[in-house]
Amino acid sequence: MPHDPLADLSTAAMQERGASRGAPRAVPALTVVSHPVPRRVGDRRLLDAVVAGRPVALSRNAPDFAKPGSSLGLPLADPFVSRKPLEFSALPDGGVRLTVPEDGTHVVAAGVLLLGTRDFSPPELMEGVALELSGRVVLLLHQVELDGEGAAETLDMVGESAGLRRLRRHIERVADLDVSVLIRGETGTGKELVAQAIHRLGPRKAGRFVSVNLGAIPKELAAAELFGSQKGAYSGATRDREGFFRAAHGGTLFLDEVGEAPPEVQVMLLRVLETGELYPVGASQPVTVDVRLIAATDAHLEEQIRDGRFKAPLLHRLAGYDLRVPALRERREDVGRLFFHFAREELAALGEAARLDSEDPHAEPWLPAPLASRLVRAAWPGNIRQLRNLTRQLVIGSRGQARLQADSQLDELLGVPEVPVTAAAPVRVAVAPEAREAAVPRRKPSQVTEAELLAALRASAWDLKAAADALGIPRPSVYDLIDKSPNLRTAGDLGADEITRCFEACGGDLDAMVRTLEVSKRALGRRLKELGLVAKGT
């Protein structure tokens, strides 16, 4: 029978394009994180039928998954995924119920083998739930925002999460305008990549793009490095120095870690932005420069202004347009695509790129399902930079192997320990404080591993006193361990927008917010009061 090309048209993709015009703003979706056929990573299926009150059945043969924006899709088609379907249905609170039939596909979430029904709350959907199917395919159950706008160009940025799509649109809106731009975001989120995209799309693309990390320049040399200097202007100045501003004349100057600028450099930056003129160190005459300035920071500049460490007029000048780059934990559906993108680069350097060209659905997945699940659940405090470095380590450490091999350092690097698969969630037993005190020997804080700390905090619902008692260490030591950990954070580290989004998603339930954000309930309650938000349970 001849193949009908229309049979490959994905109803998922057609439904996705239509849904963006009239469906709710956010719908649950399934995104492929890992698959025996690597090109399937990133394929997605919207579950908007669930929002409409209709269950969605998932099996080996249906429904179709497609790349976001694509008109072609395919079912999972893994021969080890059962034909007997799983079922996703709606819950009254906006959550999703997963029903796993007996003798069907084995489904594992965070080390727990799911049997019967499992309900996922709206906060869990917002965070994203990794589902391992038959130990081979990993799907992320999460929320997708349908913004109704056409897809922007990728701008060399990998991913299709809502935060990344918004960022691309902001870049396109400001790129052709000759205004300064301030890029905000955590360390490792790719702020320089954003600056390069703005330069590439802007009117100065024929000029130079000069990148400067202010945090790496000694404070006593910052002025000369930026604005240039004359011979003899200071000890060691044996020749005239051009400076980065003049080097970028006619193009773009990217100043990373602008919050590290010394006070005297801040004054000089403000002058350049206001007048287009600068004074090289030791010069008596100004020099005119024509530069588009793009600055970036992971610091809270408004807080620095209140502390007297940053000048408010300079912030206003820098932020002609303000962009925010989302953290990797806010775009978990992109983790799989980013991982395979970096893996391809590393494998190509080793001459093993063909490992990711498999089209055999029977083959063992190159990325094992438990490892893929851990990747997507990790906190990623170092964001994309951390993911890239970890990918390199895994690829090199597995050189010559048929599959990726996780090494003993992975728990420490990911902050998500491998969990043995069990048939049911662990039972939490309440213990009287005096009994717990007697049962737990006192320890040195240095003896507590990060995995132990995280487990104790989660078991105690982020009650720091209870966690300290369970670990046998003083309560102040818990704060110290959290501060030292790259994978943990406090309520004070949370941005107002992240808190507000979580507040709305959790319906103001403080306990649910604590579970989602994984911070102290008391401290989070204080942050809510500062933001004028009244939570349940306070």
What's the CA gap between 162 and 157, in Å, rounded? 13
Q: In this model, does residue 140 exceed pLDDT 70?
A: yes
The predicted pLDDT at position 89 comes to 97
Contact 261, 216 (CB under 8 A): no
Of 373, 459, 489, 324, nearest to 128 by C-alpha is 373
The pLDDT value recorded for residue 74 is 95
- Angle formed at CA 314 by CA 311 and CA 318, multiple of 5 degrees: 140
Residue 432, pLDDT score? 39
User: For 337-344, what is the mean pLDDT?
Assistant: 97
pLDDT computed for residue 181 by the predictor? 97
Look at 114-128, 272-286, 362-376 and tell me which has the smallest mean pLDDT.
272-286
Closest CA to 460 of 396, 519, 388: 519
Query: At CA 343, angle to CA 339 and CA 346, rounded to 5?
Result: 145
- Across residues 403-417, what is the average pLDDT? 69
**Where in the chain are the domains?**
5-148+330-414, 162-325, 433-484, 491-530
CATH number 2.60.200.20 given to 5-148+330-414: yes
Q: Which residues, other chains included, contact 331 with Cβ-Cβ below 8 Å and sequence gap of 6+?
A: 159, 161, 162, 163, 164
pLDDT score for 419: 54
Amino acid identity of residue 115, one-letter, is L
DSSP state, residue 281? B
Check residues 425 and 240 and name the one with the higher pLDDT: 240
Mean pLDDT of 206-213: 96
Inter-CA distances, 58 with 23, 218, 399, 478, Å: 21, 58, 35, 43
Tell me which H or E stretch contains 464. helix 464-471
Looking up tokens 């020749």 gives 239
What does the pLDDT average to over 295-305? 95
The structural architecture, per CATH, of the domain 162-325 is: 3-Layer(aba) Sandwich (3.40)
Question: Is pLDDT of 537 > 60?
Answer: no
User: Which residue, chain included where needed, has tokens 């450490």?
Assistant: 397
* Residue 234: per-residue pLDDT: 67
Indicate if the pLDDT at residue 250 is higher than 90.
yes
The region of weakest confidence among 169-183, 271-285, 434-448 is 434-448
pLDDT, position 304? 94
| Percent above pLDDT 70 for the chain | 86
Residue 453 burial (CB count, 10 A):
23
pLDDT (average), residues 141-158: 79
User: Quick one: pLDDT at residue 402?
Assistant: 84
- Which pLDDT score, from 0 to 100, does residue 126 have? 92
**61-76: average pLDDT:** 91
- For helices 475-484 and 450-459, give the axis angle rounded to 10 degrees: 120
3-state DSSP call for residue 5? helix
Least confident segment among 65-74, 143-152, 178-187: 143-152
Res 70: pLDDT:
82
Name the residue with higher pLDDT: 145 or 23: 145
Tens digits of per-residue pLDDT, 435-456? 334 445 677 777 788 777 877 8
Query: How high is the pLDDT of residue 482?
Result: 83
Query: What mean pLDDT is predicted for residues 332-349?
Result: 96
Please state, as a whole number, how many other Cβ atoms lie within 10 Å of the Cβ of residue 274.
11
In 3D space, the residue among 257, 126, 269, 270 whose CA is nearest the CA of residue 185 turns out to be 257
Say which range, 10-14, 73-77, 359-363, 506-510, has the weakest mean pLDDT: 10-14
Mean pLDDT, to the nearest integer, of 506-530?
82
Is 0.75 topped by the overall pTM? no
What pLDDT does residue 99 have?
95
Report the pLDDT value the prediction gives residue 239, as an integer from 0 to 100: 74
Per cent of the chain over pLDDT 90 is 56
> Is 409 a residue whose pLDDT tops 90?
no
Q: Coil, strand, or helix at residue 103?
A: coil
Instruction: Examine the pLDDT at 510 and tell me if it is beyond 80.
Output: yes
Q: Return the pLDDT at 325.
A: 97
- Residue 1 — very low, low, confident or very high, per pLDDT cuts 50/70/90? very low
Residue-level pLDDT at 238: 65
Closest-CA residue to 130 (of 372, 341, 365): 372
Q: How confident is the model over 349-405, as pLDDT tens digits?
A: 999 999 999 999 999 999 999 999 999 999 999 999 999 999 999 999 898 888 898
Residue-level pLDDT at 33: 97
Per-chain mean pLDDT for the chain: 85
